[in-house]
A and B are shown apart, each in its own frame.
Chain A
């Protein structure tokens, strides 16, 4: 079953009159903002998940909200599908173009519209990079909390589409907890507001529904985010374990002790070694697992929590507990974690990142089963793990040049996601379903639930023009996938 759009499983594709569409787009956009030839469009054929590529019919790169509105109006009238893209760092093919559609690139809408320090909010355009928001308000002592590892590049609009998290979200929340309101364009280009500048809004919580909806319900053109005062103090601890299970138990023990760390991350041996060889973060290379724990707040709170957590880690059997001796070392600890993906990229020609989330108590069990899968498929796995909130990021190592190897990777990835569902978790914690996890939606949800999702989509986009073939599978695809799955060898005993 191919991951690429299949009219038999995903719905009919209508051939678009490209010349007519281009001529209409040129009425309000200069030719350099409308890419029509293959070599110009090629760089946009995939997002951060480069295994899946489709060249779009046309790429448009609007510079104003009014141009976005015009594009949507034109596409709505001509029944042309629209896929929205931010910086293209997404890891689930959420911004994978549609062959007979327009790719709407939002990167030029990247202004900060307003910073209101008294109300602790910033109003920004969707194309601005996540980190740029924090940088812009740093001089006032504030920051924007969600911090995906790609925060240098990833856009706030993309974060909204996927409800992005990051290493600090156990304590400070996901995108949905840090956005107050948004200006949205409907599929036909009509502008409306969801949320208010206050902490809630009248009516149904459309804001919560739109966040994480993967560009399938509307196009966000302005976002009002919450700003938080920067904690005056942050300390990082590194704890090493000779057994991954002990590390998992230590996480539960920290939370049982009443501490919610600013960040709580875990890595296994392969990931530790890859990172250490890459950026020399000072990680103990012989450890089976390490935990990175960040405590932030005022000096007294941090000192008290540091004491509690150190004691808990030692009681949980850590073979080494080390506090970063200064700010430089703390940043180095985190630089190691944030560069885990590229570090793994150095030890393997390719890697494939999984995004399942599990109840933490299932960690040892899930790691063991992943080990079994790894042996069955003859594919190594490096584990990076947002331990505090149970979000796993196993990286399956492979070589795309070996024929058939990626097929094995996909099947193994599917098994891991289905394992996450089986233990009470989910197929995606923060990367989104996109195109990539469409099949596993059929495992996580029943047909009536899938139909309910389709009716929600229909409430916003009756003709199915926004990001077709993403997020929610058709019932035909669900049926096909369930049959395929039932034919697989059982590895879970």
Chain B
């Protein structure tokens, strides 16, 4: 089979699938294959469609092809003292630029800097009529036409094949320090609320194994000052920054489980949730990871009652839904949107929801 290393080659494959109404299973580095439902379909692998299209450090924009390894882009940014401020997890060496956007997963910096979706500026995709279309662009502000670029983020490939994505990047902080202190979950959540309500150079706030982890980022003297003040008033000790990477990449012992792992996004000040299991808190309280055998419906309902939502993240639980089920108008709009972007239903059918 020929390499899918050009727009034309990919387009041709999509044309064929559309004409024959054959489902396609879109993949990049396959590092996030566990996320979402399995897809039955012919493999459309983007990993050979790679390369950086443009990078202008002073414009704060990178445009790259979907199959470009995330490590390659991060290394390039590092040289210019810049970064992807949405902190995307890799979950493996082969993680790609396109996979980052398709899954839309952001790391610990997210509540302080923004999500993958927030940093998307433009996309070039192949739609379900096998046409190459571009939305958004490479500038910071762009309100021409509907925002189909950001719609792609987190859509798990169900609306189109990502070819190129432009993302905003940010300068890397000069200095980062992490401080850790033992306390109860209740105390940690209160502390996170207090810290997030002040103007502080916060870039991480997590709770794991009875300990609160707080990261500050900024100029060296600023960070050192904040750390010194905090240690004087609240105690705690400085630790290695590797904790955050282990958290983002799910290398902490907590994540190495055979039980169902739940990702529960809630308003940050939500009190400890009363579900049996082990908890890890990130996003200054806004993201709760739960390892639990509790009933799926109970977990989804609890998250919803807190005005958040729950996702069965590691696909261990064999339920009908991994993501919170849609209802009413929202469900209908999802069906209509799928029809608008992918009328033949060829892109990753069922990965997000059955029928989409």
* Interfacial residues, chain A to chain B (CB-CB below 8 A): 116-121, 141-142, 162-163, 165, 169-170, 173-174, 176-177, 186, 190-194, 196-206, 208-209, 211-213, 217, 229-232, 252-253, 255-256, 258-260, 297-298, 300-301, 304-305, 357-361, 386, 388-391, 424-433, 437, 441, 444-446, 448-449, 452-453, 455-460, 471-472
Contacts and interface: CB of A to CB of B under 8 A. Distances in A.
A206 B286 CA distance: 20
Nearest to A259: B171
13 contacts: A198-B308, A200-B154, A203-B353, A205-B150, A208-B147, A213-B146, A217-B146, A304-B219, A429-B139, A429-B142, A433-B144, A455-B340, A471-B146
B337 A204 contact: yes
A297 B60 CA distance: 21
Interface stretch (B24-32, B108-116, B237-245): B108-116
Interface string B111-131: 100110110000000010101
A82 B263 CA distance: 40
A7 B96 CA distance: 47
B221 A256 contact: no
B199 A230 contact: yes
B143 A205 contact: no
A458 B139 CA distance: 28
A162 B334 contact: no
A120 B270 CA distance: 12
Interface string B17-59: 0000000000000000000000000000000000000001111
Contact of B137 (A297, A426, A453): A426
B309 A198 contact: yes
B102 interface: no
B309 A196 contact: yes
A170 B143 contact: no
A197 B267 contact: yes
Given A212-B143, A448-B133, A120 B196 contact: yes
B155 A205 contact: yes
B122 to A, nearest CB: 9
Given A118-B197, A209-B148, 19 more contacts: A186-B329, A190-B328, A196-B307, A204-B337, A205-B104, A206-B330, A208-B117, A231-B199, A258-B81, A297-B199, A298-B222, A445-B144, A445-B145, A448-B127, A452-B131, A452-B340, A455-B340, A456-B337, A459-B340
Contact of B114 (A177, A204, A390): A177
Given A173-B118, A360-B58, A429 B324 contact: no
Contacts of B131: 448, 452
A304 B118 CA distance: 28
A17 B326 CA distance: 38
A200 B265 contact: yes
B144 A444 contact: yes
Contacts of A190: 328-329
B59 A360 contact: yes
B310 to A, nearest CB: 9
Interface string B258-270: 0000000111110
Contact of B59 (A191, A359, A449): A359
A208 B151 contact: yes
A303 B193 CA distance: 27
B109 to A, nearest CB: 12
Contact of A426 (B142, B174, B198, B334): B142
B269 A173 contact: no
B225 interface: yes
Contacts of B328: 190, 192
Contact of A389 (B110, B140, B336, B339): B140
B143 A425 contact: no
B117 A120 contact: no
B302 interface: no
A192 B330 contact: yes
Nearest to A454: B340
A194 B139 contact: no
Contacts, number: 261
A301 B173 CA distance: 12
A291 B131 CA distance: 43
Nearest to A305: B219
A30 B234 CA distance: 60
Most interface-central of B61, B140, B267, B329 (chain A CB within 10 A): B140
Contacts of A121: 267
Interface residues of B, number: 83
Contact of B286 (A199, A203, A231): A199
Interface in B158-213: 158-159, 170-172, 174, 193, 196-201
Contacts of A431: 143
B352 interface: yes
B147 A211 contact: yes
B197 A358 contact: no
A212 B118 contact: no
B315 interface: no
A196 B308 contact: yes
Nearest to A121: B267
Nearest to B141: A429
B337 A260 contact: no
Nearest to A359: B59
A106 B309 CA distance: 31
Given A205-B155, A430-B141, A177 B171 contact: no
A258 B174 contact: yes
Nearest to A429: B141
A360 B140 CA distance: 10
The 5 closest A-B pairs by CB, nearest first: A459-B336, A389-B140, A429-B141, A198-B265, A208-B150
Most interface-central of A202, A448, A460 (chain B CB within 10 A): A202
A453 B145 contact: yes
B248 to A, nearest CB: 15
A203 B330 contact: yes
Interface string B305-329: 0011101000000000001101011
Given A120-B197, A449-B133, A201 B142 contact: no
A393 B31 CA distance: 44
A17 to B, nearest CB: 28
Contacts of B171: 255, 258-260
A304 B142 contact: no
A260 B113 CA distance: 12
A249 B326 CA distance: 49
Given A357-B140, A424-B137, A118 B193 contact: yes
Contacts of A204: 151, 154-155, 158-159, 334, 337, 352
A298 B174 CA distance: 16
A205 B146 CA distance: 12
Contact of B336 (A259, A305, A460, A471): A460
B218 interface: yes
Contact of A196 (B118, B193, B265): B265
Given A205-B117, A258-B81, A301-B222, A390 B144 contact: no
B139 A165 contact: no
Contacts of B133: 446, 448-449, 452
Interface in B256-311: 265-269, 283, 286-287, 307-309, 311
A273 B200 CA distance: 39
A226 to B, nearest CB: 10
Contacts of B225: 300
Most interface-central of B114, B129, B222 (chain A CB within 10 A): B222
B134 interface: yes
A203 B172 contact: no
A255 B286 contact: no
Nearest to B127: A452
A441 B137 contact: no
B309 A430 contact: no
B135 interface: yes
